[in-house]
Amino acid sequence: MSAFFALESLTLHYGKTLAVDALSLRLEEGNTLALLGPSGCGKTTTMRAVAGLLKPSSGRVHLAGRDITALAANKREVGLVFQSYALFPHLSAWDNVAFGLQLRGVGAAELKQRVSEALAMVGLSELAARMPRELSGGQQQRVALARTVVVRPRLLLLDEPLSNLDTRLRLEMRSELKRLQRQLNITMVVVTHDQLEALALADTVAVMHAGQLAQLGTPQQVYTQPASEFVARFMGMDNVVAASALGLSSAKAFAWRPNAVVLGRGQHQGTVIGASYLGDAMELLIDSIFGPIKAQAAADAAWRVGQQIAFDLPLERGVALQA
């Protein structure tokens, strides 16, 4: 049985520069995929190709049983919410949401009903008459979402949807996106560089690196079982040590998160070269024979820069890496 959404060996170039190299992945209907990676990894380029804004060099894009690779953007049943929201500044929230339906020739009665439902869905019914400049960042994003879902796309693409919001609004909108996705049972692809955002929103995470798929799996798999040093470091396992340096041969390397490093005792010694107060913890940077080791201590820890410190890297708290 074919997947609802699939990329088959999708290859994309900007001029002579290879941006995405033979990317293949699949997503079932009603699920959310996060394209996760650092700037320049190819995730936004991939999204543009899915939306029909960039022609592939080779490969195929499939959606709902159709090959849409050669279809024009307005024929794909794909909705795109831009990072900048791209609202029409001279139109009210209501008119922004109604715009796509007007282009499609939807009748007045149906248009009024669908716009009202879309605005209610994102909690903006009472702000329908406001202009974009009169709305907060979070409210503007809700208008952009309503404008996209009102035309009932088969696939919803979100480009860095929370990056323009402050921390509190980011948490609120993360929950809002999850609620809307469940309510509409819509299939979503979220492009993000934020690991927590990907883990919170997605059913499947595709970690990208240098135009290639570094790992594809559930949020739990990608977080706890990284497939390579790149994925381990990107997912917060800052401490990667070659297995040979540990006298081991069962893997290429081992990785630990800062909170997995044992401080004040152990077989290794180092010097504290950095100490940062994080509120609920103290982050230490330790110079050691393995290179810099990042560790977390209690917020009231007495360690200071220049002090010698014993530490341990327990294998049971680390992850073996084969690449």
Would you tell me how many other CB atoms lie within 10 Å of the CB of residue 264?
11
pLDDT at 168: 79
Domains 5-228 and 237-321 share a fold: no
CB 123 within 8 A of CB 135: no
Question: Rounded distance, CA 282 to CA 296, Å?
Answer: 6
Query: Can you spell out the DSSP letters for 253-289?
Result: EEEE-GGGSEEEEEEEEEEEEEEEE-SS-EEEEEEET
Give pLDDT tens digits for 237-250: 999 999 999 998 88
| CATH numeric code, 5-228 | 3.40.50.300
Say what the pTM is: 0.89
Residue 180 confidence (pLDDT): 84
Query: Is residue 137 left, alpha or beta, with left meaning phi > 0 and alpha meaning psi from -120 to 50?
Result: alpha
Closest CA to 114 of 79, 158, 148: 148
Terminal-to-terminal C-alpha distance of the chain = 32
- Residues contacting 34, CB < 8 A, separation 6+: 189, 190, 191, 192, 197, 198, 201, 202, 204, 205, 206
Domain spans, the chain: 5-228, 237-321
- Between vectors from CA 111 to CA 109 and to CA 116, what angle results, nearest 5°? 100
Looking at residue 73, its pLDDT comes to 92
Decide if domain 237-321 falls under CATH 2.40.50.140.
yes
pLDDT at site 141? 85
Query: Would you state the pLDDT for residue 166?
Result: 78
Q: Going by DSSP bridges, is the β-strand pair 187-192/204-209 parallel, antiparallel, or unpaired?
A: unpaired
* pLDDT value of residue 162: 79
- Going from the first residue of the chain to its last (323 residues), give the mean pLDDT of each consecutive group of 10, the final group possibly shorter: 90 94 96 96 96 96 96 92 86 95 92 93 92 91 89 92 78 84 91 94 97 97 96 96 92 96 96 95 97 96 94 96 88
Residue with tokens 């997912």: 235
Longest CA span, the chain: 75
What pLDDT is attached to residue 171?
83
Residue found by looking up tokens 């799996």 in the block: 217
Per-residue confidence (pLDDT) for residue 86, from 0 to 100: 83
Q: Take residue 26 and report the two structure tokens written for it.
A: 């699949």
The count of C-alpha atoms lying within 13 angstroms of the C-alpha of 278, restricted to the half-sphere facing its C-beta, is 14
Q: What is the pLDDT of residue 142?
A: 87
Degrees, nearest 5: CA angle 119-123-126: 75
pLDDT for res 2 = 76
In the three-class reduction of DSSP (H, G, I as helix; E, B as strand; rest coil), residue 57 is classed as coil
